Structure formats: structure tokens, C-alpha cells
Amino acid sequence: MKVSDTMATPIEEKLDQNLKVRTGMVHVSDGKSRPEPLRLNLTMELLSLQKLEVVTPTSHPNGPPMESKERMVQITRQKQGGLGLSIKGGAEHKLPILISRIYKDQAADITGQLFVGDAIIKVNGEYITACPHDDAVNILRNAGDIVVLTVKHYRAATPFLQKQLTKDTPDSDNDATCAELKADEGYKSSVNSGTISRSCSRPMSICSEPEKRWTDVVAVPLMMAYVTRYIYGTDKLRQNAFEVRGLNGVTTGVIHCDELAILSQWLKLITDNVVGLTHLQMKLYNRNFAVGERIEYMGWVNEGVINNNISWQSYKPRFLLLKGTEVMLFETPPLNVAGISKALVVYKVYQTMFRIVKESETVDSRQHCFLLQSSGHEPRYLSVETRQELLRIENSWNAAIVTSVIKLGRKTFAVSHHGKSGGLTLDWQAGFSLTEGADSAVVWQYKFSQLRGSSDDGKSKLKLHFQDHDSRAIETKELECQVLQSLLFCMHAFLTAKVASVDPAFLSSIQQT
């Protein structure tokens, strides 16, 4: 395969340690300059852009790297042993967070890409270089099942860390190790300057032979990555091209495919991996929540920003969560359970309307759009990349409606009926009921199935039309409510949940999720 080929090549698939790896030639640009040919390399967790280079290996293939370059390594946490590594250092010692021990046959060791003496710079894209030791430990413990570490090898630190191992120094004895590390001027100078000793006992010509090798130009972690065919922030669809942005801020640039079939195949493979990884992360988060508080959906959407009802001026990526009784929008995905409390927008699902926008109603070239409108707030116009993703959100929304209504149980709104103050209650089991007076006496009550229609004036007045079980006659009840929109949205949620729960299998799946 020649790197100078002008055409994108079909996707090749191979097994590497029983894991599927897909590769193929594409063209990549920054959106402004002429695209250059590179190879796409897709694993379950990582999308890499690679070029063929003539390299001279400077270290044993199974040993630590000689170069002091940053590397990204992905680890899958094990149930027993966790990440399989220990750390030393920390900001309180004016030292980086250093890997001091790697446990044989555990997660870090299995990667084959982490070494004693590696400094951990980022965890899932979050810098920890300024963290005290204990904070770094907590960040690693709570980083999820799939963890992406950005590391840089400090070779001068390795002998001291290995000496600690031979002394059987407890992992908790961080202060003693740090004191010894800082006492060595050679290590300090190597850290400060970023240089690495390149000593070799043999001449370079004997140490290694030049060879051709695919080397990574860019590596993007796929956990909760953002995949789009649109020019960033617009409704303009790229012609036979797409972009992938990682949580760590790394982007692939614009990936061009000459054939639509190859483009579609790459998009599906990458998106499937992103969805699979995101679902794994969602399951991890849900371990911390009770049944009625769990996450039903999380993924990227784009929100349109409108100006004077003329056209959408821009689109902003948002991360959408449906959790328990709430729908949330984030500027960036939450990296841990604590981050879920930092949403940009939070609405109650049972007081929010979800509506798919018909193709004839879209306001610009963006497809697969939907509206979220919560009572008392302006509607939010959102879009996703594919019809399949839109249907996933719709199905998750219906599940979230049932979950939220069952958890809520009942909701009462202050109303007036024939001039008298009262309360209209929506009850998951009993249906509609109106109560009046200090003793909350029931004036009338109907099941949800008896509602035949409703009408309102858009302000405060509402008419509910019920059918009597015996006479089959329609009975109209007139009410006034100062929070009419909130009442209507809540009614819609209860009725939607009742319709969905007619399917016993569906209701059972919601309760067990």
C-alpha cells in the first residue's frame, strides 16, 4: 500500500490479541490546507491517524521508551486489582505523579505500554500535574472502568523507584521516596529540562537498524468522543468528510473519503465504538444510583442558537443526559459521578415536552432535529448526526418518562373550580381527582382512560372532557390554573407513561434497568 495513493482504500480488518483492528487509507486536512494521505487505525477504544516513517528504534521493544514524548495509554480496570499500578510523588513534594510499581498480569501490565518512571500528566484528559498525591490517587480510583492516561517517561527516575521496590518500601511511604528522588541532582535536572539520557553501550549502527513503521500522528480516545460530518458550529454538511473530537481536546482534523460507501462504513464503525464505550461508562455511573435515579441515555447533541427568528446563527455541542426524573445538558461530558451535578441546564422530565421536528419544519440544513420545552423556559432546538441516534433518544425519553412518573407517583396543582380553590391531583394509580376545602374532600375523580380530550386558552383556563363509565356521556370539567403550561406538560407525561406501560414487557424492563 503506497502512502501517495490518491484514493481512500477499503477498510481492512485484523485481529490483534483477539481484538478487532480496522485500518485504511484516507486523506486528512485542517479544513484549510490541502489534505494529506494518512492511515486510519481503529481499535475499540482509540482512533489513530498514522503515517509511514523510517525510524531507528532507541530502546528494547519491551522496555520503556527513550524519547521524552507524551503518550496516551488506555487501561481497562479489572474487578480485582483495579488499574494494577502504584504511584509516588505529588505537588506537595514539587514532583510529578510517577508510576512507582506495575503489578504483573494486572491491567497496567497487560497494556505493555506503561513503565515504572512514567509520569502521569492527564487522566481522561484532565491535568493532574498540580495535584497533591492523595488527590491523584482519588482521581485514578474514580476515573471509570476505561481510563486514558497521558504519560511521559522520566528515565532518570526509574533507578530510584526500582530501588524502592527492592527495599520492599511500602507503597504508602511516599515521603521517603520523594525525599530520595529530590536529593538526586541528576533526576532533578532531567525533569526540569525535559531531556533524557540516550547512552548506549554499543555504536548506534549496531544498537539498531532503521525500519519502516506506522507511527501515530494523532490518537483520539473514543470514550464519549464527538463525531460529526458538519462544519463545526454550522448547519453545513461536509462533502464525504467527517471529524472526531476526543474528551482530551484532541481532534483528528477533517477526514476525507473519496467514496461514500467507505465514508459510511467508517462512520458506523467509529460511532458504534463510541456508543459502546459510552454505554459502558453509563453502566459504571449507574452503580452509584438507585433504580429510579439511573441514567437512561447519554450522548452528544447540537443546540441551535437563533437570532431574530431568521436563521440559526450557530450550533454548540452539548452533552445530553437523561437521568431519573431529570434531563440535563452539559458543555462537556461529566468525567465522574461528581461531575453530573455540574450540568448547564436541568429540567424535570415530567414537566418537559420532547418533540421530533418533521423534515418539512426544520429551519436550516441540519437534519434529525428535536425540541425540548420545559414549562417556564424557551424551547431548545437540538439535532443529532443520524436518524438512528434520534430514535435512540426518543426511546430513552419514553423510558425516562415512565421512570420519572412512577418515581413521582402523584403531583398536585393549585386550581380554582367554579370560583372555589382546590387541588387537581394526577396520580399514577388513581388518575385525576379534584379536592376542595380544608379537609381536601374529593369533588370528582376519573381514571386516565376516561379522558377523551382537553382544550385550553393558552393562559390559565382548561377544560377536561371525561366519559362516564355508566352513561357513556361526556362530562366537561372547567378549571383555572396559574401554571397552566406546567400542568399540561405533567398531564402529557402521565398519559404517555400510561400508554407505554400498557406493554407489560416494556414496564418490566424499565423497573429492572
Average pLDDT, the chain: 83
Would the pLDDT of 180 be above 60? no
Residues 6+ apart with CB under 8 A from 104: none
Same domain, 400 and 291: yes
User: What are the φ and ψ backbone dihedral angles of 163, each rounded to 5 degrees?
Assistant: -65, -35
Q: Is the domain of 351 the same as that of 392?
A: yes
Contact, 424 vs 464, CB < 8 A?
A: no
The answer to which of 207-221, 317-331, 385-399, 417-431 has the lowest mean pLDDT is 207-221
For residue 354, what pLDDT band results from cuts at 50, 70 and 90? very high
Is pLDDT larger for residue 196 or for residue 347?
347
The domain boundary, picked from 405, 428, 459, lies at 405
Is 400 in the same domain as 304?
Answer: yes
Of the two residues 94 and 309, the one the predictor is more confident about is 94
Answer yes or no: do 307 and 389 share one domain.
Answer: yes
Q: Is residue 175 part of a domain?
A: no
For the ranges 200-204, 279-283, 307-311, which has the lowest average pLDDT?
200-204
Assigned domain for 303 exists: yes
In a domain, 472, yes or no: yes
For residues 261 and 335, state if they share a domain.
Answer: no
pLDDT at 8 over 70: no
> Is 364 in the same domain as 328?
yes
User: Are residues 118 and 86 part of one domain?
Assistant: yes
SS3 content of the chain, % helix, strand, coil (to 5): 30, 40, 35
| Residues in Cβ contact with 184 at an 8 Å cutoff, skipping those fewer than 6 apart | 156, 160
Helix segments in 294-333, DSSP class H? none
* 262 and 293 part of one domain: no
Give per-residue pLDDT as tens, 110-145: 988 899 888 898 898 787 877 888 889 999 999 988
Ramachandran region, residue 371 (left: φ > 0; alpha: ψ -120 to 50; beta: rest): beta
pLDDT for res 205:
37
Q: For residue 17, what are the domain limits?
A: 10-50+216-267
Q: Are 347 and 490 within 8 A, CB to CB?
A: no
Please indicate whether residue 383 or residue 187 has the higher confidence score (pLDDT): 383
pLDDT at 396 over 90: yes
Confidence band for 80, pLDDT divided at 50, 70 and 90: confident
| Over residues 362-375, mean pLDDT | 92
Question: Taking a C-beta distance cutoff of 8 angstroms, is the pair 359, 365 a contact?
Answer: no
In a domain, 492, yes or no: no
**pLDDT attached to residue 227:** 96
294 and 356 both lie in a single domain: yes
Tell me whether residue 325 is exposed, middle or buried, using C-beta atoms within 10 angstroms of its C-beta: 0 to 12, 13 to 18, 19 or more: buried
Together in a domain, 351 and 293: yes
Average pLDDT over residues 412-431: 94
**Do 332 and 371 fall into the same domain?**
yes
Within 10 Å of residue 208's Cβ, how many Cβ atoms? 15
> Averaged over 69-94, what is the pLDDT?
87
Tell me 509's DSSP state.
H
Percent of the chain at pLDDT exceeding 70: 81
Alpha carbons 27 and 5: distance in angstroms, whole number: 10
Q: Is residue 500 part of a domain?
A: no
Most confident stretch, 43-57, 144-158, 261-275: 261-275
